[in-house]
Every structure is written in structure tokens, then in C-alpha cells.
Amino acid sequence: MYTQGLDQRGDGKAAADRPELLARFQEKVDAEEKIEPKDWMPAEYRKTLVRQISQHAHSEIVGMLPEGNWITRAPTLKRKAILLAKVQDEAGHGLYLYSAAETLGVSRDELVEQLLTGKAKYSSIFNYPTLTWADIGAIGWLVDGAAIMNQIPLCRCSYGPYARAMVRICKEESFHQRQGYEIMLMLSRGTDAQKDMAQDALNRWWWPSLMMFGPGDADSKHTAQSMAWKIKRFTNDELRQKFVDVTVPQAEFLGLKVPDPDLRWNEETGHYEFGEIDWEEFYQVLKGNGPCNRERLEARQKAHDEGAWVREAAAAYADKQARRRAAA
């Protein structure tokens, strides 16, 4: 909630030079106390949070594009109203998160610029196309389902503004997942062509959804530190496993087949075993070589450029009003 400048604390110095502050900070984190914007924090903690929260915000904003693609073609008025509400929520989630990132001393303009120049990343999942209406079902069910798995522990993140934004987001997110599952349910109970459409969507979205949890624990360079700082509560692989465990029975209920020949229930561990993820695909998409990377960024750039006159007009109007009030 604080403006820039207000919260620029003397944490520029390496944490090693401030052992007593660092110890006090870790003590607070260990005691499950929240860190608030004006509190001292290690520069690396601030940097990690800015990176993570802004990536998260960008993902919400870019995430509107694949679904927005179907607003005008939703099969019924009810589905259209639901999809509009969902996409509007995603915009809202992006805004809550940008505000949370700004409390760390980075400006909105900088964040937007990092997205548009490709300097900042967003979730790899949104670089896949939405080819059929069933994709809207699969996104709600799988993509929002995976997002919820990731986000629920973030409600307990050590950084107060991020945790508070996540509480609000999680409250809104469960409708997203349910409306997606309902779309899949309708299709899977429909004609053969509709069932095929649902299966095709599951085939295309399953593996990219598993990739949403990020690299495996052995290759995740930020995990250990983020866990010590209580930004993260579970590792990528732990969350991925939870997601598979809850989602496979949901697919079975729909009568759909998860596209993984190695998927099997392990009686002993009480978990599903699943096949190897194609990490080469993941890194290619992250690098910008996914099916829709270029299209997504072009759409954001276009929206930004075409909205420029609105931002300028609103600012000019506000100036005029302020002058009139001053003269009166």
C-alpha cells in the first residue's frame, strides 16, 4: 500500500554487513510473523518477491488472452456471462498483485515495461492456443486447478501484502475451476463429437499444466532459499504430485483418459506415479518459442499502445479539474 520512496529502506547494503538485522528478520519469519513493506528485509528477499509477484501479475494479465479468445463465441449467453466474469477476475488478480509488488518499491510503469520488453516472464501455460470451446473447460479445470494448488500455500507467505492479495485471489479462484469442470462435464456427457473435443482438450492441456509447477526440485535454483524465507511452503514436485493425485480421479469421473501411458496408482505410497515431463518443451516455451509467445506479447503491446490516449486524456481531465478547483 505504500508509495515508492516511503518504503525504500537501507537494505541496499549486503545482508552480510547487517548480521543483527538479518538475524532479527529470520527470527520473525521463523516465528510466522509477517514482514510488512516498511520493515527491514534483505535485498535478496525483496528482489525475489518483486520477481515472483510481478511474474504472477503478468501471468494473470496475459492469462486473459487465451480465454478472451472465446468470449464472443461462447455457446450460450450463460457461458458468455460466466467467461466474462472470469476474465474480469483475472484482470483484478493482476491488479491486486501489481499493487503488492509496488509496495516493494518498484513502479507500475517499470513492471509493465518489463512485461512488454520480454524482460519479465509469465507462466508458460498461456503460450498455448485455445483451439476449441473445450479448451475453456480444460483451462478452468486444469490450469486454474494447478494455480490454486500453487496459490493456497502463498496465502501464508511471509510477506504481508502478497499473502493478503493471495487470500482475495484464492477466494475468487474456486469458481474458475468449477465452471471449467462443469464445461468438461457437459461435453463428456454430450455427443461423441463433444466427448472427443473434451478428450482432445485434456490431451493438449495435461502436460503443460504439470509444467506450471516449474522445474523439478533438483533443478529449481530458488526453492531452498524461498522455503527458508517462507515465501514458498512446498517444493515444485510436492505441489505437482498433489495436483496429479487430486486431478486423476476427476478425469476418471468424466470418463476421459489422462494422456500418460506411465500413469499408475501406487498402493504403497498412496500417490499416482506419472511419466517424465518433456522439459525441453518447457524451456523452449519459456525462452519465447512456444506456439503463441509472439502473439501474446503483440496483443499486450497493442492494448498498451491503443490505450495510451485514454491514459493521457484521463490525466489531462484530472489536471483540468484540479485547476478549476484551485481557481474556484
Partner 1 sequence: MDRKHWPLFEVFIRSRAGLSHRHVGSLHAADADMALDHARDLYTRRSEGVSIWVIDSKSIVASDPDDNPELFEPAEDKIYRHPTFYEVPDGVENL
Q: Does 160 bind partner 1 (CB under 8 A)?
A: no
Which residues 6+ apart lie within 8 Å of 8 measured at CB? 105
State the residue for C-alpha cell 493521457.
312
Nearer to partner 1, 177 or 235 (CB): 177
- The residue range among 38-46, 117-125, 233-241, 276-284 that interacts with partner 1, by the rule CB under 8 A, is 38-46
The piece of 35-43, 129-137, 258-266, 271-279 that touches partner 1 (CB under 8 A) is: 35-43
Work out how close the CB of 244 gets to partner 1 at its nearest, in angstroms, rounded to a whole number. 31
- Give yes or no for residue 40 binding partner 1 (CB under 8 A): yes
CB atoms within 10 A of CB 178: 14
Q: How far is CA 115 from CA 2, 108, 118, 175, 309, in A?
A: 22, 11, 5, 28, 20
Q: Would you say 75 and 190 are in contact if contact means Cβ atoms under 8 Å apart?
A: no
Compute the least distance from the CB of residue 326 to partner 1, in Å.
10
Written as one string, the DSSP assignment of 109-143 is HHHHHHHHTT-S---GGGGS---SHHHHHHIIIII
If phi > 0 it is left, if psi is from -120 to 50 it is alpha, else beta; for residue 120 that is beta
Applying CB under 8 A, the span of 151-159, 241-249, 273-281, 314-322 interacting with partner 1 comes to: 314-322
CA–CA dist 146, 245 (Å, integer): 12
Grid look-up 506456439 returns 291
The answer to whether the beta carbons of residues 43 and 14 sit under 8 Å apart is yes
9 or 195: whose CB is closer to partner 1?
9
Question: Is residue 8 at the binding interface for partner 1, with CB under 8 A as the rule?
Answer: no
Specify the amino acid at residue 321.
Q
Per rule CB under 8 A, is residue 110 in the interface with partner 1?
A: no
Site string for partner 1, 58-97 (x = CB under 8 A): ---------------------------x--xx--x--xx-
Distance of alpha carbon 76 from alpha carbon 59, whole angstroms: 27
314 belongs to the binding site for partner 1 (CB under 8 A): yes
**Contact between 315 and partner 1 per CB under 8 A:** yes
Which three three-digit cell numbers place residue 231? Answer: 515465501
Asked if 168 is part of the footprint of partner 1 (rule: CB under 8 A), the reply reads: yes
Q: Among 24, 38, 257, 287, which residue interacts with partner 1 (rule: CB under 8 A)?
A: 38
| Nine cell digits for residue 199 | 478428450
Question: Which class for 199: exposed (0-12), middle (13-18), buried (19 or more C-beta within 10 A)?
Answer: buried
Measured on CA atoms in the order 75, 79, 81, 83, is the torsion positive or negative?
Answer: negative
Taking CB under 8 A as the criterion, the residue among 17, 20, 32, 109 binding partner 1 is 109
Determine if 107 is a binding residue for partner 1 (CB under 8 A).
yes
Query: Quick one: which segment of 47-55, 185-193, 237-245, 306-314 binds partner 1 (CB under 8 A)?
Result: 306-314
Residues 247-276 that bind partner 1 (CB under 8 A): none
Q: Examine residue 294 and tell whether it contacts partner 1 (CB under 8 A).
A: no
Query: Which secondary-structure segment (H or E) carries 273?
Result: strand 271-273
Q: Which stretch binds partner 1 (CB under 8 A): 50-58, 99-107, 249-257, 292-300?
A: 99-107
**Is 174 one of the binding residues for partner 1 (CB under 8 A)?**
no
| 3 state DSSP class of 103 | coil
The span from the CA of 222 to the CA of 235, in Å, is 10
**Number of residues counted as binding partner 1 (CB under 8 A):** 33
Interacting residues toward partner 1 by CB under 8 A: 1-3, 6, 36, 38-40, 85, 88-89, 92, 95-96, 99, 102, 107-109, 164-165, 168, 172, 311-312, 314-319, 321-322
